[in-house]
Amino acid sequence: MGFCSIVIALVNNDAPNQNKHKVGLEIHQQLDSNNKLFCNCKIVDSPEYDFTFKRILHPTQSEMGSYDQAAVFESKKIKTVKYLSSKNSNCLIESDEEPPEMVNTEALDLVLTISLALHCTIEDELHVMRKIVIDGSNTTGFQRTILVARNGYLDVDGVRVGIQSICLEEDAARIINEQKDAARIINEQKDDTVDTKIFALDRLGIPLIEIALDPISNTPMFVTNVAQTIGRLLRATKKVTRGLGSIRQDVNISTNGGAVVEVKGVQQLSQLALVIEYETKRQDGLNQIAQELHNRKIHESAFIGNIIDVTDFMQQSNSKIVKKILSGDSRFMALVLREFHGMLSFEPYQGIRLGKELGEVAKSYGIGGIFHSDELPNYGITGEDVKSLASILKVDKNDAFVLVGGPSVLLNSVISELTNRIKKAFSGVVAETRSVRLDGVTVFSRPRPGSSRMYPETDIPYISINENRLKELSKHIPLPWNEVIDQLCKKYPINRTLAENIFDSQYFSLFEKIARHTSINPSFIISKLTEDFVRLERQGYDCSILTQNDLFYLFEQLDKSRISKESIPIILEKLLRNEGSSVNEIIGTLGSEGFTEDDIDGIIKKVIEENHKIISQKGMDSIGLLMGRCMSILRGKVDGEKINKQLVTRLTEHLNKS
């Protein structure tokens, strides 16, 4: 669903520490442009992939001669990346096989216009930069990005919120769940090792606007409102893409001036408040853990004890999990933490523990096998095992230890990252990038990248912005959202709620198309495209699989009276249940085909004929009963209103005759 159609009911105004944290929002919105940002490929939905290739990415130095720590982190778990490319939506440029074309002016003009609408100062000259990203999501190993404007503002609920910067960027490739998408890959050779990441290139290069806001110290509700206001401003341009994934928020959260944690990829507005709540709680928890370490007088430089290979011992264990981990070329290492007994499971808030943080770090390397002494015995590791380990590791009752099991090649990196993470626990919150789950819980993904990741894109000349261009663009500043809604209400005409619902939805352009090409009542179209879809989603259907072409065809059939209004939800459900390959096929199975005006008339006449006794008793009052009989034959096939009208005509005739 489009991001603004989510009800903001989950916002908790009583979130803890609401005035101590700062939230910086970064909003990424896909632009609805004809072409991609740096090539002439069209933007095509869900193509088939007809070509694959593999790459290995390496970290490179910034122009200042330093490496970005996030890039270095990614490179340590370097993997082969496989890319799926499609003739329809990809050329040599997305494969990093050809220099980029000049910046897409349509997209740039739109970003300039939005910058003007947000009262920003536009840079005199724009420089395309390479932001190093070597997780595989960009074939080049960097994302091209242009700082377009800075220092603007917008007013939300009477509060002024600063705009830090506005950038024009290229979207990244889409990570692929192989099983789900396998069907779409043609000519596939099955030779992949497990550690291959897979990305599809159709999304790579789509222009994105990134709007970064000044940190906000306000309620999660307010932050959500800010995001919604910006989303609506963007949609008011009518030149942005709608639908899931077309708008994404990164949220930077810090507590009490501490380190900034970047939560990436919040796709739904309803998640925003949940993320803020979870993160502020987690950060407060981490600070309490730091305090506890301090209270226990554990020394930051002296807590690390032995690091010992315990593979031989672990091989004796009967634990199924341990056996599974050791089945490949894997080893087990133990890391002793002096005086740490109880620290790893110390839990200032439910679910906030140092042990969990360590588990997430290990998981980011693809290592699931991490156990610590505070949670043992468990997982099939017995009390006996723990005792023996304690003696092998020479730990006393005040110490703790962590067991890490996984591929030998990774273990050293993981252990060093874990010790790093524990060291950082002494100062509380760690500056890092985290991903987010639907319930708002955040998970470690990598250290926070710094400015070292920026390198000039030497393939594209500088772009000078002159005053005339800005003057011309300022004429196209979108109307405020309220006025756009007013206009919609007048144009169709529809009521305000419907106008708001459809305008926030991903089906807005579809709605306009249907309303333009058919004579169907606009309010009816909207209620189908919004309320019916919300209902179907609640029933657990994934409405995103319905294509706009299918939906348009469906309404066209209604307009031609080939189907009835009532049959629309039935057809939609059948489509969602995959009970037919096309709308046409499903309409066929409904049997509504062949019901001509004459047929309907015939059925009505027959019903009147069969019930003439009742009619003679009740007269016009028999209409309800007759309607019921007609509907039992024609339900879902012919529009009820139409039947009713015809029935009234025929019944009147019948009564007049007799």
Partner 1 sequence: MNTCYHKTNFTKIASRDFIKDNKSTHNLLIYTLYKVIEILSNDENHTKLKELFSRFNVNLGDSVIIETDNAKHEGILIPRYEYADVNHLVLKLKNGYNIGINLGKIKNIKKSLDKLDQIIIDPNVNFTEGDKSRDYADSQLSNLSLLSTGGTISSKIDYRTGGVMPALTAKELNDSIPELKKIANIDPEVVLSEYSENIRPEHWTLMTKRIADNVLSGKYDGIIISHGTDTMHYTAAALSFALQNLPIPVVLVGAQRSSDRPSSDASTNLIGACTFASKSKFAGVFVAMHHTLSDEVIACHVGTRVRKNHTSRRDAFHSIDISPFALVRKDQIELCEQFTDLKFNERCTNLENFIVRSNFDDKVMLLKFYPGFDCNIIDYCVQKGSRAIVLEGTGLGHINKECFEQIQTAVKNGIFVFMTSQCIWGKTSLTVYDTGRDLLEIGVIPLSNTTSETALVKVMWCLGNFEDKEVAKIMTSNIANEFTNRIITA
Where does this chain bind Zn ion (CB under 5 A)?
39, 41, 91, 93-94
Angle (CA) 367 371 372, round 5°: 135
CA atoms of 546 and 492, how far apart (whole Å): 25
Choose among Zn ion, partner 1, none what residue 41 binds, the Cβ cut-off being 5 to 8 Å by kind.
Answer: Zn ion
Applying CB under 8 A, the span of 26-34, 348-356, 455-463, 596-604 interacting with partner 1 comes to 455-463
Q: In Å, how far are 328, 567, 630, 634, 649 from 642, measured between CA atoms?
A: 69, 13, 11, 11, 11
Choose among partner 1, Zn ion, none what residue 91 binds, the Cβ cut-off being 5 to 8 Å by kind.
Answer: Zn ion
Q: Does 66 bind partner 1 (CB under 8 A)?
A: yes
Choose among Zn ion, partner 1, none what residue 497 binds, the Cβ cut-off being 5 to 8 Å by kind.
Answer: none
Q: 455 vs 541, which CB is nearer to partner 1?
A: 455
CA 54 vs. chain centroid, Å, equals: 26
In the complex, the smallest distance separating the C-beta of residue 576 from partner 1, rounded to whole angstroms, is 39
Q: 58 vs 160, which CB is nearer to partner 1?
A: 58
CA atoms of 427 and 432, how far apart (whole Å): 14
Selected from 18, 140, 241, 280, the binder of partner 1 by CB under 8 A is 140
- Say how many C-beta atoms besides its own lie within 10 A of residue 607's C-beta: 23
CA atoms of 439 and 118, how far apart (whole Å): 31
Q: 254 vs 271, which CB is nearer to partner 1?
A: 254
Choose among partner 1, Zn ion, none what residue 39 binds, the Cβ cut-off being 5 to 8 Å by kind.
Answer: Zn ion
515-554: which residues touch partner 1 (CB under 8 A)?
none
Q: 91 vs 308, which CB is nearer to Zn ion?
A: 91
Q: Does 451 bind partner 1 (CB under 8 A)?
A: yes
Selected from 9, 19, 125, 658, the binder of partner 1 by CB under 8 A is 125
Q: Does 126 bind partner 1 (CB under 8 A)?
A: yes
Q: What phi, psi does 437 have (nearest 5°)?
A: -95, 170
Q: H helices then E strands: how many in the chain?
A: 23, 21
Selected from 114, 147, 221, 568, the binder of partner 1 by CB under 8 A is 147
Q: Does 142 bind partner 1 (CB under 8 A)?
A: yes
* DSSP class of 507: T
Q: Does 448 bind partner 1 (CB under 8 A)?
A: no
- Of how many residues is the chain composed? 658
Q: Does 72 bind partner 1 (CB under 8 A)?
A: yes
- CB-based contacts of 645: which residues, under 8 Å, 6+ apart? none
Yes or no: say if 171 and 139 are a contact pair by the CB < 8 Å rule: no
Q: 146 vs 274, which CB is nearer to partner 1?
A: 146
Q: Does 141 bind partner 1 (CB under 8 A)?
A: yes
In the complex, the smallest distance separating the C-beta of residue 204 from Zn ion, rounded to whole angstroms, is 8
Applying CB under 8 A, the span of 68-76, 181-189, 477-485, 588-596 interacting with partner 1 comes to 68-76
Yes or no: say if 115 and 212 are a contact pair by the CB < 8 Å rule: no
Q: Does 458 bind partner 1 (CB under 8 A)?
A: yes
Q: In Å, how far are 107, 115, 477 from 473, measured between CA atoms?
A: 12, 10, 7
CA atoms of 610 and 208, how far apart (whole Å): 65
158-217: which residues touch partner 1 (CB under 8 A)?
165, 167
Applying CB under 8 A, the span of 12-20, 144-152, 504-512, 603-611 interacting with partner 1 comes to 144-152
Q: 60 vs 547, which CB is nearer to partner 1?
A: 60
Choose among partner 1, Zn ion, none what residue 67 binds, the Cβ cut-off being 5 to 8 Å by kind.
Answer: partner 1
Q: Does 503 bind partner 1 (CB under 8 A)?
A: no
Q: Does 58 bind partner 1 (CB under 8 A)?
A: yes
Nearest to 132 by CA among 460, 462, 458, 450: 450
Q: Exposed, middle or buried, 390 (CB in 10 Å: 0-12/13-18/19+)?
A: middle
Q: Does 613 bind partner 1 (CB under 8 A)?
A: no
**30 in the Ramachandran plot: left (φ > 0), alpha (ψ -120 to 50) or beta?**
beta
Selected from 134, 173, 273, 393, the binder of partner 1 by CB under 8 A is 134
CA atoms of 607 and 601, how far apart (whole Å): 10
Yes or no: say if 144 and 108 are a contact pair by the CB < 8 Å rule: no
Q: 139 vs 283, which CB is nearer to partner 1?
A: 139
Choose among Zn ion, partner 1, none what residue 368 binds, the Cβ cut-off being 5 to 8 Å by kind.
Answer: none
Strand segments, DSSP code E, in 80-224 are 81-85, 121-122, 125-126, 128-132, 142-156, 159-170, 174-175, 197-200, 207-213
Applying CB under 8 A, the span of 28-36, 137-145, 260-268, 607-615 interacting with partner 1 comes to 137-145
In the complex, the smallest distance separating the C-beta of residue 99 from partner 1, rounded to whole angstroms, is 4
619: its two tokens: 């007269």
Q: Does 596 bind partner 1 (CB under 8 A)?
A: no
- Say how many C-beta atoms besides its own lie within 10 A of residue 176's C-beta: 19
Selected from 110, 129, 263, 494, the binder of partner 1 by CB under 8 A is 129
Q: 408 vs 487, which CB is nearer to partner 1?
A: 408
- CB-based contacts of 416: which residues, under 8 Å, 6+ apart? none
In the complex, the smallest distance separating the C-beta of residue 210 from partner 1, rounded to whole angstroms, is 11
83-102: which residues touch partner 1 (CB under 8 A)?
92, 95-99
Q: Residue by residue, what is the 3-state secondary structure of 437-501?
A: CCCCCEEEEEECCCHHHEEECCCCCCEECCHHHHHHHHCCCCCCHHHHHHHHHHHCCCCHHHHHH
Nearest to 84 by CA among 170, 188, 171: 188
In the complex, the smallest distance separating the C-beta of residue 424 from partner 1, rounded to whole angstroms, is 12
Total number of residues binding partner 1 (CB under 8 A)?
A: 61
Applying CB under 8 A, the span of 132-140, 292-300, 508-516, 589-597 interacting with partner 1 comes to 132-140
- CB-based contacts of 657: which residues, under 8 Å, 6+ apart? none
Q: Does 408 bind partner 1 (CB under 8 A)?
A: no
Nearest to 90 by CA among 58, 56, 52, 135: 52
Q: 123 vs 339, which CB is nearer to partner 1?
A: 123
Applying CB under 8 A, the span of 49-57, 200-208, 360-368, 523-531 interacting with partner 1 comes to 49-57
Which residues sit opposite 400 in a β-bridge? 337
In the complex, the smallest distance separating the C-beta of residue 302 from Zn ion, rounded to whole angstroms, is 56
Choose among partner 1, Zn ion, none what residue 360 binds, the Cβ cut-off being 5 to 8 Å by kind.
Answer: none
Q: 71 vs 568, which CB is nearer to partner 1?
A: 71
- SS3 (DSSP) at 29: strand
- CB-based contacts of 448: which residues, under 8 Å, 6+ apart? 69, 70, 260, 261, 262, 431, 432, 433
Selected from 2, 11, 35, 68, the binder of partner 1 by CB under 8 A is 68
Q: Which residues bind partner 1 (CB under 8 A)?
A: 53-69, 71-72, 75, 80, 92, 95-99, 121, 123-127, 129-132, 134, 139-142, 145, 147, 150-151, 165, 167, 416, 450-456, 458-459, 461-462, 464
